[in-house]
């Protein structure tokens, strides 16, 4: 099967719902003759007239020419009997998300279309391998997973099941490109790429909510500061908690109840209570008319506090950012570039970039609590034997001045340090948002987990690193791909945060991907070789 086989091939789209109609539109706009079929009589014709209306609207706005719309619509026709589709060379299925229904449809289709007709499924969660089971030619069945709304979203996950012919996957890959999409290859595993790698974006926020570490508004603001278009809470409210919960649950169940994917009781309760988000008027936020969205405290720049002895620890982009801010304020400070931590030491008190430990753990006079991995190099015990005043701040991935940044202080720290620590952050240009002293704060733990999940997907052959990056940026509009974040951080840093989270919580959620460990070893041996 070659690409040229499918370019301009007549195709059948089965299922004239939201996805089927979008797929029909994109295929017709790319020049294909499209037959649209739906089990519900009249549904395909209705979908075409709805499409005509929306395309006319785009003509009125000057986004499409009347001529191109006439041509697009002339290429699409509704078919009442699926048998009328016998001559097509490609079928794209977008029917109800049920294995039995999809299997039965493809079996029926095999008796109608030619043996070399490609069969594609738009399933978002069902195993492509399982859908192909029972077909006479299972090699021609492939996943062609579009994202909603189909005409706008660029990503197509081209999903290969165990028996999918590589040439068939390649033909769909090339066809997707011809349709103006960015395809990525994926192996048929639960959640494919996007729905799997995205799980921690929701899960880490819900874990923090469950332990009352921060409010939805603060969590959303901290993650929006990284460049996410929507914070996790507002996004779950938009998706609908029922839908989001059921995807999480299906990934969890499909992974044999791997604790890494365990759904949240917080969301379960919201679903049980009918607080489904925007569609029911209430989720994390209230959508009733006139309801006021809780705001976070605004950024107030302010000046750096006074300090007799000031030292900037560590090196890299975060240390550089502080160095620039301190320098601009005309402060004189020492540097400890080889320090084991990054941040500011002011008269012995420490404001540190999170390494996954809580401020209390770092500030405790004794060694870290039993079971934690020792990553500390410098002493945190003051001469008096009391702990050191410690506050930690989150990974500042957001570049905007005044970006929200989570921080926490050890409950054992002095009141003076608890008041001064956020002033240092504000003066350095961050909108400091205090959260409970939770390990890994907000961004560091979320991004570490997104990287970790992506690393496992690569390790298990689900996708390539480039595929994962493209999928997350195009499928869910992430501001960067997980491996792009990794390139700005470093594998050992991510591992350290994950190990601290694992030591704190126990369980399987934070186990480190072997792929990441491999990258860290590689980096260590390279730097050893260079030394
Ligand atoms: P939908 O409910 O809007 O449309 C499904 C259509 O299929 C309906 O018109 C229904 O009458 C028809 N149908 C059901 N069984 C049929 C059968 N046996 N033969 C012919 N027609 C049949 O659903 P949707 O949101 O368009 O989703 C369709 C598929 O796309 C599902 O597999 C879904 O998981 C997947 N998907 C959905 C989204 C999304 O955001 N909605 C995104 C990606 C993938």
State pLDDT tens for residues 76-104: 999 999 999 999 999 999 999 999 999 99
| pLDDT at residue 382, rounded to an integer | 55
**Whose Cα sits closest to atom 11 in ligand 1?**
40
CA of 517 relative to ligand 1 center, distance in Å: 40
Which CATH entry fits the domain spanning 4-188: 2.40.50.140, 3.40.50.300, 3.40.50.720, 3.30.910.10? 3.40.50.720
| pLDDT at residue 385, rounded to an integer | 54
Which ligand 1 atom minimizes the distance to the CA of 146?
43
pLDDT for residue 411 is more than 50 = yes
| pLDDT at residue 64, rounded to an integer | 95
- Phi/psi at 87 (5° precision): -80, -5
Cβ-contact 146, 19 below 8 angstroms: yes
Q: Which residues belong to CATH 1.10.1040.50 in the chain?
A: 197-289+442-531
Cβ-contact 214, 175 below 8 angstroms: no
Residues 6+ apart with CB under 8 A from 389: 348, 349, 350, 363, 410, 413, 414, 416, 417
Instruction: Tell me, using a 6 A CB cutoff, whether residue 358 lines ligand 1.
Output: no
Q: What is the mean pLDDT of residues 105-119?
A: 97
Give the chain's mean pLDDT: 94
Which CATH entry fits the domain spanning 197-289+442-531: 2.70.170.10, 3.10.560.10, 1.10.1040.50, 2.60.40.10? 1.10.1040.50
Cβ-contact 21, 50 below 8 angstroms: yes
pLDDT for residue 221 is more than 70 = yes
Between CA 201 and CA 258 the distance in angstroms is 17
Render pLDDT for 317-341 as a digit per residue (tens, 0 to 9): 999 999 999 999 999 999 999 999 9
Residue that the structure tokens 């923090």 belong to: 208
* Vertex 209: Cα angle to 394 and 322 (nearest 5): 10
pLDDT band with cut points at 50, 70 and 90 for residue 374: very low
Is 124 among the catalytic positions?
Answer: yes
Is 2 among the catalytic positions?
Answer: no
Is 195 among the catalytic positions?
Answer: yes
Catalytic residue among 195, 264, 408, 410: 195
Catalytic residue among 32, 110, 122, 124: 124
CA of 322 relative to ligand 1 center, distance in Å: 52
CA of 525 relative to ligand 1 center, distance in Å: 50
Instruction: Tell me, using a 6 A CB cutoff, whether residue 267 lines ligand 1.
Output: no
pTM: 0.93
Cβ-contact 361, 351 below 8 angstroms: no
Render pLDDT for 274-299 as a digit per residue (tens, 0 to 9): 999 999 999 999 999 999 999 999 99
Q: Which residues belong to CATH 3.40.50.720 in the chain?
A: 4-188
Render pLDDT for 140-179 as a digit per residue (tens, 0 to 9): 999 999 999 999 999 999 999 999 999 999 999 999 999 9
Q: What is the mean pLDDT of residues 21-33?
A: 98
Residue by residue, what is the 3-state secondary structure of 290-320?
CCCCCCCCCCCCCCCCCCCCEEEECCCHHHH
């Amino acid at each position: 099967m070659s690409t040229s086989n499918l370019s301009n091939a007549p195709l059948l789209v089965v299922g004239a719902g939201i996805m089927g109609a979008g797929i029909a539109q994109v295929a017709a706009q790319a020049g294909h003759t499209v037959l649209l079929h739906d089990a519900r009589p009249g549904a395909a014709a209705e979908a075409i007239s709805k499409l005509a209306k929306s395309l006319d609207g785009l003509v009125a706005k000057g986004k499409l020419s009347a001529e191109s719309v006439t041509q697009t619509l002339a290429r699409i026709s509704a078919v009442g009997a699926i048998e009328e589709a016998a001559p097509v060379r490609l079928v794209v299925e977008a029917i109800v998300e049920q294995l039995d229904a999809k299997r039965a449809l493809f079996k029926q289709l095999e008796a109608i279309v030619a043996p070399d007709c490609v069969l594609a499924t738009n399933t978002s969660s069902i195993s492509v391998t399982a859908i192909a089971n029972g077909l006479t030619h299972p090699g021609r069945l492939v996943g062609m997973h579009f994202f909603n709304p189909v005409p706008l979203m660029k990503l197509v996950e081209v999903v290969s099941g165990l028996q999918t012919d590589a040439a068939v996957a390649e033909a769909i890959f090339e066809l997707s490109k011809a349709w103006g999409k960015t395809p990525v290859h994926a192996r048929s595993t639960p959640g494919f790429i996007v729905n799997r790698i995205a799980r921690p974006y929701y899960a880490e926020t819900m874990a923090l909510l469950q332990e009352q570490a921060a409010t939805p508004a603060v969590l959303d603001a901290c993650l929006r500061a990284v460049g996410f278009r929507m914070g996790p809470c507002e996004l779950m409210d938009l998706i609908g908690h029922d839908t989001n919960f059921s995807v999480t649950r299906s990934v969890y169940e499909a992974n044999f109840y791997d604790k890494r994917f365990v759904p949240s009781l917080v969301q379960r309760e919201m679903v049980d209570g009918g607080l489904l988000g925007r569609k029911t008027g209430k989720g994390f936020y209230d959508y009733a008319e006139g309801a006021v969205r809780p705001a976070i405290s605004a950024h107030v720049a302010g000046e750096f506090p006074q300090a007799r002895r000031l030292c900037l620890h560590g090196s890299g982009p975060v240390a550089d950012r502080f160095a620039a801010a301190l320098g601009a304020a005309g402060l004189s400070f020492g540097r400890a570039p080889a320090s084991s931590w990054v941040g500011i030491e002011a008269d012995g008190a420490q404001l540190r970039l999170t390494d996954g430990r809580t401020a209390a753990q770092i500030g405790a006079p004794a060694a870290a609590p039993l079971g934690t991995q020792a990553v500390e190099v410098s002493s945190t015990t003051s001469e008096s034997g009391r702990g050191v005043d410690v506050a930690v701040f989150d990974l500042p991935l957001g570049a905007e001045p005044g970006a929200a940044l989570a921080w926490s202080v050890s409950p054992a720290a002095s009141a003076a340090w608890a008041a001064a620590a956020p002033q240092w952050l504000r003066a350095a240009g961050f909108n400091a948002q205090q959260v409970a002293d939770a390990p890994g704060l907000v961004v560091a733990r979320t991004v570490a987990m997104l990287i970790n999940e992506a690393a496992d997907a690569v390790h298990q052959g689900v996708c390539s690193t480039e595929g994962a990056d493209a999928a997350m940026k195009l499928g869910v509009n992430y501001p960067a791909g997980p491996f792009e974040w990794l390139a700005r951080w470093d594998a050992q840093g991510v591992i350290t945060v994950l190990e601290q989270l694992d030591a704190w919580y126990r369980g399987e959620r934070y186990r480190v991907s072997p792929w990441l460990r491999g990258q860290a070893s590689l980096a260590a041996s390279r730097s050893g070789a260079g030394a």
